[in-house]
Amino acid sequence: MPVEIDIAKVAKLARLALNDEQLASYGEQLGAILEHAERVQAMATDDVEPTSHPLAMTNSFRADVVIPSLDRDEVLSQAPDSVEGQFAVPRILE
Amino acid sequence: MSDLADLSITSAHELLDSGETSSSELLDAVLKRAGITESHLHAYLTIDKAGAAEAAARADERIAAGDGAQMTGIPIALKDNMVTKGVETTCSSKILSGWIPPYDGTAVSRLKEVDAVTVGKTNLDEFAMGSSTENSAYGVTRNPWDTERVPGGSSGGSAAVVAAGSAFAALGSDTGGSVRQPAALCGVVGLKPTYGLVSRYGLIAFASSLDQIGPITRSVEDAVVVLEAIAGHDVMDATSYRGAVPDFRAGLSAGVAGLRVGVAAELLRDDMQPEVLAATRKMVDQLSDAGAAVRQVSLPSVEYALSAYYLIAPAEASANLARFDGVRYGLRVDGETTEEMMARTRAEGFGPEVIRRILLGTYALSAGYYDAFYGQAQRVRTLVRRDFAAAYENVDVLVSPTSPTTAFSVGEKSTDPIAMYYSDVCTIPSNLSGDPAISVPIGLDDAGLPIGFQVMAPSLGEPVLFQAAAEIERLADFTARPRLATSEVT
């Protein structure tokens, strides 16, 4: 059985402004893919530890030395909008 | 066929070293080839003629001074998900159209340090999501063996330029088979190194626990040469391997006498293309005749690897791709509020496969479903790793087809995501385990399309991986070349 999902909610969480037609189409496709993905539930049992990463490593430290950062003007030249040396976005607070 | 553009890196290096050719001549040869093939293939998104000419001139000076390394002066292509200072980097996405990165990725800068020559940036499935290079915002790349067919993906542009002779080698990235599968479909060698062996700094992230940069080349030894140039610890990547890099050449001419080679029934399935199965079995017999001890092994959880991968990779992608929001780089579509601007930018800027995977990953990570999907997929990942570990107690390497089929037609699978995902059934397990794997061309199917043979080894087992791969290359004696790389086409 295809999995039923609240696709509008998922799209909102993912910050994707999709129209109703797109939502319906993606919802159907995801349902079919998740039907396949559900097979993992039949396989794994709770006593198996999850693997989040192929390397068994803890913290990775580097020497605490100052290195040059990227050039601010060069970085901002690639931004859609910038003001006073900073990235600019539409107003958040009234 | 005496065109410089068809030489291996090792042969080209000898000619450079002896002064019989120059880096500028090698560059001219690949640019001339690209001039012929690109109208058929569309494998490059950007060709940086001026930058490449400068790099070739520098390389020639260095070689003249007697200071050349193996990669010095060798024209190489980069998948367009690796950031290159001053050269547009798009990830084949509209959302990054026109982006000029302010820095080089580590693999890129290491190639620059030895004065390798970057010819340009190659096409890929958008954000490396796909197996055909059809999911590019800038058009489909075609297979040099048959331009009605796909080159595989996601590093399809990189595989196509190496097969066609418009670069001596290329870098790709492999998250679920994205180096090995296109290499197989284009009749070239493709390596996914051990996770962490090559720094991911400056590789635009898809699924961080799976992504690994690897070379695409025309010989196994060439893969070694490129890997030697780019492997090794990097403080800019916290997941970069900190130990000593193994001696990749240790077994290159050792042959396979006494080598224990495992064949897993789970990776030789009846629904695979018959010619692929036959060629794979024939190579296993040849390995046995060459002195290898062939053993049957079982990898039962591999049956579930594909399903686990298609939860883990989208989950990580949904987090990684959150950075594309119209604020710092690339596309912005205006909105009344910041959130509306971001949501419009992302819906407009990402293509359908990327949106599909972001939605899938967001769902798999969301409250109430996290453990049922993502958590369970991570447990399957553990089981896959256990299966490999158990197999490697009895064998030195594992072998399988690289791809269940040879190159398929453009459009054949583009409307059926699940059929497309199945292309990676043999390659995904090594990404889940983090182990190295390589694809070597071993023959042609009835339609004249190349067949790839995959060798897998335990983590940091590159020396034994290359040992087996070099012998397979000798046994297969694969000398066929795509029509587009011969003088028939002008």
Domain layout of chain A by residue ranges: 7-42
Q: State the Cα–Cα distance between residues B376 and B386, nearest whole angstrom.
A: 15
Count of beta carbons in the 10 Å neighbourhood of residue B336? 10
Residue with the bigger pLDDT between B241 and A60: it is B241
**Inter-residue contact A11 to A23 (CB < 8 Å):** yes
Give the CA count within 13 Å in the CB-facing half-sphere of B361: 23
Burial class of B339 by CB neighbour count within 10 A (0 to 12, 13 to 18, 19+): middle
User: Of the candidates B57, B59, B68, which has an alpha carbon nearest to the alpha carbon of residue B14?
Assistant: B68
Selecting from B331, B338, B385 the residue whose C-beta is nearest the C-beta of A92 gives B338
> Which structure tokens are listed for B246?
């193994």
Q: State the Cα–Cα distance between residues B38 and B164, nearest whole angstrom.
A: 9
Three-state secondary-structure class, residue B46: strand
- Residue found under tokens 């097979």: A39
- Residue found under tokens 């290329």: B170
Selecting from B343, B378, B417 the residue whose C-beta is nearest the C-beta of A17 gives B343
Compute the count of residue pairs across chains A and B with CB atoms less than 8 Å apart.
Answer: 170
Q: State the Cα–Cα distance between residues B380 and B398, nearest whole angstrom.
A: 20
**Inter-residue contact B407 to B445 (CB < 8 Å):** no
pLDDT for the residue B2 = 65
pLDDT for the residue B1 = 45
pLDDT for the residue B120 = 98
Residues of A whose CB is below 8 A from B301: 43
Q: Which amino acid is it at B168?
A: F
Angle in degrees, CA B6, B7, B10, rounded to 5: 155
Instruction: Report CA torsion sign: B52, B56, B59, B65.
Output: negative
Q: Which of B339, B360, B420 is best to mutate for the A interface (most A CBs within 10 A)?
A: B360
Q: Which amino acid is it at B258?
A: G
> Which structure tokens are listed for B423?
């292309």
Q: Do A75 and B102 touch (CB under 8 A)?
A: yes
Q: Which of B302, B332, B359, B435 is best to mutate for the A interface (most A CBs within 10 A)?
A: B359
User: Which residues are CB-neighbours of B352 under 8 A, at least 6 positions away?
Assistant: B135
User: Of the candidates A37, A18, A17, which has an alpha carbon nearest to the alpha carbon of residue A26?
Assistant: A18
**Mean pLDDT, chain A, whole residue set:** 89
pLDDT for the residue B124 = 98
Name the helix (H) or strand (E) containing B473: helix B462-476
pLDDT for the residue B3 = 92
**Inter-residue contact B211 to B205 (CB < 8 Å):** yes
User: Which residues are CB-neighbours of B313 under 8 A, at least 6 positions away?
Assistant: B175, B176, B206, B207, B210, B357, B361
Give the CA count within 13 Å in the CB-facing half-sphere of B319: 11
β-strands B450-456, B397-401 pairing: antiparallel
> For B4-255, CATH number?
3.90.1300.10
By annotation, the residues of B acting in catalysis are 79, 154, 178
Q: State the Cα–Cα distance between residues B135 and B275, nearest whole angstrom.
A: 28
Q: Do B375 and A50 touch (CB under 8 A)?
A: yes
Q: What Rg value do the Cα atoms of chain A yield, rounded?
A: 22
pLDDT for the residue B21 = 98
- Residues of chain B under the 50 pLDDT cut: 1, 490
Q: Do A26 and B355 touch (CB under 8 A)?
A: yes
The alpha carbon of B415 is separated from its chain's Cα centroid by a whole number of angstroms, namely 23
User: Which residues are CB-neighbours of B139 under 8 A, at least 6 positions away?
Assistant: B42, B123
Selecting from B332, B335, B359 the residue whose C-beta is nearest the C-beta of A30 gives B359
Residues of B whose CB is below 8 A from A94: none
The pLDDT tens digits of the residues spanning B443-465 come to: 999 999 999 999 999 999 999 99
Selecting from B327, B362, B380 the residue whose C-beta is nearest the C-beta of A40 gives B380
Q: Which of B90, B99, B198, B307 is best to mutate for the A interface (most A CBs within 10 A)?
A: B307
How far does B460 lie from chain A, in Å, by closest CA? 11
Q: Is the pLDDT of residue A52 over 90?
A: no
Q: State the Cα–Cα distance between residues B253 and B467, nearest whole angstrom.
A: 7
> Which structure tokens are listed for B147?
């331009």
Q: Do B325 and A26 touch (CB under 8 A)?
A: no
Angle in degrees, CA B398, B399, B402, rounded to 5: 130
Residues of A whose CB is below 8 A from B332: 80-81
- pTM value is 0.97
pLDDT for the residue B32 = 97
Selecting from A11, A71, A78 the residue whose C-beta is nearest the C-beta of B359 gives A11
Q: Do A44 and B376 touch (CB under 8 A)?
A: yes
Which residues 200-259 of B are in CB contact (within 8 Å) with A?
Answer: 209, 235, 238-239, 241-242
Report residue B358: phi and psi, to 5°.
-65, -45
**Inter-residue contact B177 to B217 (CB < 8 Å):** no
Q: State the Cα–Cα distance between residues B259 and B93, nearest whole angstrom.
A: 44
β-bridge mates for residue B192, sequence order: B437
Residues of A whose CB is below 8 A from B100: 77-78
Q: Is the pLDDT of residue A45 over 90?
A: no
pLDDT for the residue B490 = 47
Residues of A whose CB is below 8 A from B342: 15
Q: State the Cα–Cα distance between residues B453 and B158, nearest whole angstrom.
A: 19
Name the helix (H) or strand (E) containing B34: helix B23-41
| Domain range annotation of chain B | 4-255, 303-379
How far does A67 lie from chain B, in Å, by closest CA? 11
Residues of A whose CB is below 8 A from B102: 70-71, 74-75, 78
Q: State the Cα–Cα distance between residues B319 and B265, nearest whole angstrom.
A: 35
